[in-house]
Amino acid sequence: MKLKEVNQEYHFEKAKLKQWLIDQGLIEPHDHRDIYQLECDTEMIQMIDDDQYAIRHTVVRKKFQTIDDYQAPAMIPMDFRILNIHNFVVLDTETTGLYKDDEVIELSIIDTLGRELYHSLFCPTKKMGEAAIRVTGLDYAMLKEEPLFKDEWPKIKKAIGSHKILGHNIAYDYRVTLSTAKRYGIAETEVKDLFRDMIDSKALVAHYYQSRSYKLAYLCKKFGITESQKHRATYDCLQTLQMLRALEHKLVNEGYQAAGDTYDLALIQKEKKQMEALKEAALYGYKAGKSIEDLSIFYSLSEDEVTSLVIDAYHQGLCEIRIDTQKEENVLFIARSIPDLTFDQLAKKAKKYASENEIRLIMAKEHL
């Protein structure tokens, strides 16, 4: 069966479908064939069905770049006044496994605006575990031509400089970095000096926010952050940063006072005005054609918040709702065929056609 026929059931955007095929290694980035002419066997059809949410939310990279050609999203600077974190970089590693003697096979560092300061894969001396291969999509064949960790160590130290290191469950990254350094004869004190003032975002979130789970994926979902397509170091760094920006925004929006602050009504009012200005700017960006996902990242508003802003503005006659015609037709067909569905029921039935926020926009547009 041709991919075009398969897609008649899902109605994926062609560009997103192509990027997903590239990310899965099913086609090359510079493959100029029409993807709709690709033959799909039963296994590939099942992959598409299992991964439909990821396909709908795949970020199309410039010129269909590979997953390693990272481009930082646009973000406005944020003063983490309440979380009280400053002068830091975000670090994440991928490893050969989860044991204390495992080895770093990928390390990324980004700054507070999501810009990549350092990234490299490494050729390991230790055999990779099957679980690590499944999670990262990396194996020895892909890594054998990469540099050794010891040869990249000076660049890693330079990228970190005098900054504090922040990461989600950073103690693990510290342990495995120390283990890898020892393996190559790098002085233990060098690693300890770099990680001396490390900040654990997992513990930081737990201090300010009660959650059933503090896993990064769960927190990102709670804060309305689009899930990354790959469990890879730079994208995990970015998700950690986005999650902390969303938490700071939430705390400011709720009038939370930083440790040691007195109750300052003027400061609270000032910050609320700043939040209102951000929301106005986000709405202006939507009117100018920016996507809800891009606006969410730039202004540190959740996609739910941006969607609500758009819906409120639409009801006030201040903007038009943009939605893919095919998605709208599919969702409305279900809604009208089964008129007594609750929103949650509709969202579940229509998830193969549109995201929950897209369904919210469609229903608002149709006044349903």
What integer pLDDT is reported at residue 30 of this predicted model? Answer: 65
The domain ranges of the chain are: 3-56, 88-245, 265-315, 325-365
Please check whether residue 170 is in contact with residue 91, taking contact to mean a CB–CB distance below 8 angstroms: yes
Q: Quote the pTM value.
A: 0.66
Concatenated DSSP letters for 153-166?
HHHHHHHHTTPEEE
Concatenated DSSP letters for 313-355?
HHHTTS-PPP--HHHHHHHHHHHHHSTT--HHHHHHHTTTT--
Residue type, 362: I
Neighbours of 46 (CB within 10 A): 11
Residue type, 242: Q
Q: What fold characterizes domain 88-245?
A: Nucleotidyltransferase; domain 5 (3.30.420)
Please check whether residue 315 is in contact with residue 364, taking contact to mean a CB–CB distance below 8 angstroms: yes
What integer pLDDT is reported at residue 148 of this predicted model? Answer: 94
What integer pLDDT is reported at residue 149 of this predicted model? Answer: 95
According to DSSP, residue 102 is labeled: -
In sequence order, which residues have a C-beta less than 8 Å from that of residue 219 and are 6 or more positions away? 205, 211, 213, 243
Instruction: Give the 3-state secondary structure of residue 245.
Output: helix
The region that residue 64 occupies, defined by phi over 0 for left and psi between -120 and 50 for alpha, beta otherwise, is left
From CA 166, how far away is CA 170, in angstroms rounded?
7
The region that residue 289 occupies, defined by phi over 0 for left and psi between -120 and 50 for alpha, beta otherwise, is left
In sequence order, which residues have a C-beta less than 8 Å from that of residue 214 and are 6 or more positions away? 202, 205, 206
Please check whether residue 245 is in contact with residue 78, taking contact to mean a CB–CB distance below 8 angstroms: yes
From CA 297, how far away is CA 225, in angstroms rounded?
8
User: Which residue positions in the chain have pLDDT lower than 50?
Assistant: 61-67, 261-263
Concatenated DSSP letters for 47-73?
HHHHTHHHHHTPPPPTTS--TTS--PP
Residue 317 Cα distances to 170, 292, 312, 348, angstroms: 47, 19, 9, 29
From CA 237, how far away is CA 165, in angstroms rounded?
11
| Count of CA atoms in the C-beta half-sphere (13 A) of 139 | 5
Residue in 72, 55, 163 with CA at minimum distance from that of residue 115: 72
Residue where the block lists tokens 């999650």: 243
Q: Crossing angle, helix 292-299 and helix 303-315, to 10 degrees?
A: 120
In tens, the pLDDT along 198-214 reads 999 999 999 999 998 99
At residue 2, what are phi and psi to the nearest 5 degrees?
Answer: -70, 150
